[in-house]
Amino acid sequence: MKDPLFNPIKIGGLEAKNRIYLPAMHMNMAQDYKVTEQLVEFYAERARGGVGMISVGYATVDELSGSTMNIGAHKDEFIPGLKDLADAIKNHGARSAVQLNHAGRYNFSFFTGGKKPVAPSPVPSRMTKETPRELKIEEIKEIVESFAQAARRVKEAGFDAVEVLSGTGYLISEFLSPLTNLRTDEYGGSYENRMRFGLEVMQQIKIVTGSDYPLIVRMNGNDFMPGGQGRKELAVYAQALADAGVDALCINVGWHEARVPQITTSVPRGVFGYLAKGIKDLVDVPVIASHRINDPATAREMIADGTCDMVAMGRPLIADPYLPQKAATGREKEIVHCIACAQGCFDHLFKLKQVECLCNPKAGHEKECRLKASDSPSKVMVVGGGPAGMSAALAAAECGHEVVIYEKENRLGGQLYLASAPPGRAEFSELARDLATQVAVHKIRVVLNTAVDEKILDDEKPGTVILATGAKPITPPIPGVELAHVVQSWDVLLDRVATGRRVVVIGGGAVGVETALFLGEKGTLSGEALKFLMVNKAETPDDLYELATQGTKDVVLIEMIKKIGKDIGLTTRWGMLQDMSRIGVKTNVSTKALEITPQGVTVEMAGEKETLPADTVVLAVGSESFNPLQETIEKKGIPCQVVGDAQNVALAFDAVHNGFAAGRSI
């Protein structure tokens, strides 16, 4: 039987060769609205990888709709750049589209020369901390026409289709929602009136581009906003869009202000597919499911089961552009999966940096990272098989060097397994396995359970050594740290030690938060147990919620500074703090541990001393570089590079990129 992922699909009169759709993503790679070579190379590589259709963007419809880092579609002068992008995608076998959007109240006046963002009503945005200006009727009509003229430019540039973003809290969804649309004219009040703007945009696009030109709408299946629009109301809008001539619907979830995680590693794979299914049951146009569909098995099952007609895989194709090709040729085990860490994609956007990827150091650097065979290949010895070491080894092997990895533990992966221990973080172990698979595919020799010493160096006779020996946890100089009930967070996360009912975690950085979550979840219901009890109506929904969130340990997290999780990325931090609050972890900031006693931890808070009772005290105050071999190697005159945490303790993103740079430089 043919793989349902690779059946062709029609969107209007357009046929895509398979059912994998690369949705539009903020890339921050445009300059002054213009398509750059970097953007062209990025999407050309994804087209080479075998994806069926690519949507780029979003693209602006006027000067208040986005920033100069967005692709411009609001002036004819941008058509040549758009054409280059369309050609690059289509010349490598994929269908192409541009997503149009107006940010509305989600834009920042910083991006618009100080001009206020616009919206249906002057409702402040929690995301931007700004209050938008209310649009006048004539301005609404102008924006409708601006969408249509931008679509015309997309068509003239040679794209196969146009997409409109009608969700996520941007302008069209602001008109739809009673939270942000307080108007009393024909664009406000009743749901019919609130749908008017979005439907007029689609109708005008069809008038200007022609009824045969495919139009896709990306819309929320649920906005996850209290008092906003749930799936049933948005399904009515989906039907109205289909009736208005829209050729396909791509279903996403949530506004940027919503407090339901949508894109982080804690979100189960394919969990929002039910929203696509609910809409697919009501419309006769193809429905595309979105969010956390990061592997072909999940995608294949969703299509085969009738959940959707096509799957949107955005970040998975950043992580591995050749995911479709590997799936089509029986090499799924070779896929490097997106782990939804957000370290290189969403976290970069908040820093106004271009998108990169923890899992794929070539992402966004496709042209300069086409590695060439070295003119003088040598033997490269990598000491340490964590993310930095494996990344370095893979880059060196791709350059034609003979590479060997030495790892003192019994598996490759290093601290990725540590990162995967807290609840909702298991995807980090997927990356450990994926990188280890890549090491095997590149036929790199691996020696496990072996700590490198001078004899091994003499036996191997490497031309270059890359030290990726990682880090070790810090033991702070607190009186009482030597007591038997004091343990390191690493040992807790790796289940090397038992902990008591009352636990104090010292240190509120990333590892402290992860450890507190790990311990706080102990004794809660698993997802499988929760479903069993729920479907059999064994307990009330309120009791099930309590059983799923209240564990068997009392956990207190203390931090010296005023902020918990300061080293956690903005995309994931809020969700982790929300989880800690939900499971009852108590947090004390501006709190200094003075002494650990058999009874607990003596702390100073607001100038007062207090003892926090504890059966177990967990040290989570950070880590320090572990690099015992550099001096020995340098004395032998062997060229040496230090990478990852062995050089400087940082994020997994930094370790992978640092290792890759070292490996390709040899």
Classify residue 524 by its DSSP letter: P
CA dist., res. 252 & res. 250, Å (int): 7
Same domain, residue pair 559 and 468: no
Domain boundary among 305, 331, 350: 350
Two structure tokens written together for 289: 């499911």
Same domain, 617 and 486: yes
**Does residue 609 sit within a domain?**
yes
Burial (Cβ within 10 Å: 0-12, 13-18, ≥19) of residue 592:
middle
Residues 201, 187 within the same domain: yes
Is residue 602 a part of any domain in this protein? Answer: yes
**CATH code, 446:** 3.40.50.720
Please report the pLDDT score of residue 414 as a whole number. Answer: 96
Does residue 71 contact residue 100 with C-beta atoms inside 8 Å? no
pTM: 0.95
Q: What is the phi/psi pair of residue 447, to 5°? A: -120, 115
CB 321 within 8 A of CB 335: no
In a domain, 358, yes or no: no
CATH classification of the domain holding 496: 3.50.50.60
Q: Are 384 and 362 in contact (CB under 8 A)?
A: no
58 cis-preceded (ω within 30 degrees of 0): yes
DSSP helix/strand/coil, 489 = helix
The per-residue pLDDT for 526 is 94
Question: Measured between alpha carbons, how far is 370 from 362 in angstroms, rounded to an integer?
Answer: 8
- Give me the helix-helix angle, 510-520 and 570-582, nearest 10°: 30
Helix (H, G, I), strand (E, B) or coil at 56: strand
If asked whether residues 393 and 447 sit together in one domain, one would say yes
Nearest to 100 by CA among 19, 215, 5, 180: 215
Beta bridge partners of 251: 219, 289
Instruction: Report CA dihedral (537, 268, 275, 194) to the nearest 10 degrees.
Output: 110
557 and 652 fall within a common domain: no
Give the distance, in angstroms, between the CA of residue 223 and the centroid of all CA atoms in the same chain: 19
Are 10 and 45 contained in the same domain?
yes
636/585 same-domain check: no
What is the SS3 assignment for 215? strand
Range of the structural domain that residue 216 is part of: 4-350
Task: Return the pLDDT at 144.
Answer: 98
How buried is residue 539: exposed, middle or buried, by Cβ count under 10 Å (0-12/13-18/19+)? middle
Residue 660 burial class via C-beta count within 10 angstroms: exposed 0-12, middle 13-18, buried 19 and up: buried
> Residue 264 CB: number of other CB atoms within 10 A?
22
- By the 8 A CB rule, do 273 and 303 touch? no
Asked if residue 175 and residue 280 are part of one domain, the reply reads: yes
Q: State whether 587 and 461 are in the same domain.
A: no
CA distances from 558 to 93, 519, 587, 615 (A): 55, 15, 6, 16
Residues in CB range of 197: below 8 A, 6 or more apart: 120, 140, 144, 172, 175, 187
Indicate if 407 and 346 belong to the same structural domain.
no
As a whole number of angstroms, the distance between CA 618 and CA 193 comes to 57
Nearest to 534 by CA among 526, 277, 583: 526
Q: Does residue 400 belong to any structural domain of this protein?
A: yes
Residues 6+ apart with CB under 8 A from 329: none
Walk along the chain (666 residues) in steps of 10 and give the mean pLDDT of each run. 93 98 96 97 98 97 96 98 98 98 94 93 94 98 98 98 97 98 98 98 98 98 96 97 98 95 94 98 98 96 97 98 97 97 92 94 93 87 98 97 98 96 94 98 98 96 97 97 98 96 97 97 96 97 96 97 94 95 96 97 94 98 96 95 96 96 95
Q: How many CB atoms lie within 10 A of CB 153?
A: 25
372 inside domain: no
Residues 6+ apart with CB under 8 A from 488: 473, 475, 618, 619, 620
Q: How many domains does the chain have?
A: 3
Strand locations in 302-353, DSSP E?
Answer: 310-312
Helix (H) or strand (E) holding 603: strand 600-605
Whether residue 362 is contained in a domain is answered as no
> What pLDDT is attached to residue 629?
96
* Same domain as 442, residue 506: no
Decide if 394 is inside a domain.
Answer: yes
In a domain, 360, yes or no: no
User: Tokens 């709408």 belong to which residue?
Assistant: 217
Same domain assignment for residues 154 and 8: yes
Q: Can you tell me the distance from the alpha carbon of 42 to that of 100, in angstroms, rounded to the nearest whole number?
A: 19
Tell me if 387 sits within 8 A of 435, measured CB to CB: yes
User: From the centroid of its chain, how far is CA 59?
Assistant: 21
CATH number of the domain to which 43 belongs: 3.20.20.70
